[in-house]
Amino acid sequence: MYQRIFGIVLLLCCLGLAATAWGYHAPFSYEPVGPRAYPLLLLMLMGLGAIYLIAKPASATAEHDEPPLDRHVLSKVVGCVVILSAYAAVFELLGFIPASIIFAIAMARLYEGSWKVSVIAGVALGVGLYLLFDKALDVPLPLGILAALEN
């Protein structure tokens, strides 16, 4: 039941955000497809997932498959929102790599990852995603406090 409610809310959010993103035109474009293609693609994929959650047969989801909406689950949801908000707040100030490392470590720790694994995964994700986006996909990302290391 919670999955269907979440699917409906997610689909409504996707439709609203897609309507907003559709009219976005940047004064300049450094990407061949323009700045709105990436958010629209993500929203389309999220919308398809939401439709699946709404339309899937009831037999595909047993009641025991869904965790109870108790204090533990709600604290994780609130923790995710706080961590994502902090990530958005420090993204440009710290830069992509440090902000992403801190974000990944915080998320791993929120879901009971060990410190060792959380730090290794955080550093690998932060550096790996930077290299993927900046070097392979040629998407400029803010370096923030690491700007002095740029060639």
Q: What are the tens digits of pLDDT across the range 117-127?
A: 999 999 999 99
What is the number of other CB atoms lying within 10 angstroms of the CB of residue 103? 20
Report if pTM > 0.75: no
Q: Quote the CA–CA distance of 92 and 73 in Å, as a whole number.
A: 30
pLDDT of residue 119: 96
Q: In which residue are the tokens 């909406």 written? A: 69
CA angle at residue 17 from 12 to 23, to 5 degrees? 135
What is the number of other CB atoms lying within 10 angstroms of the CB of residue 120? 15
Over residues 53-103, the pLDDT tens digits come to 888 876 655 556 666 778 888 898 899 999 999 999 998 889 889 999 999
What is the number of other CB atoms lying within 10 angstroms of the CB of residue 7? 19
pLDDT of residue 3: 81
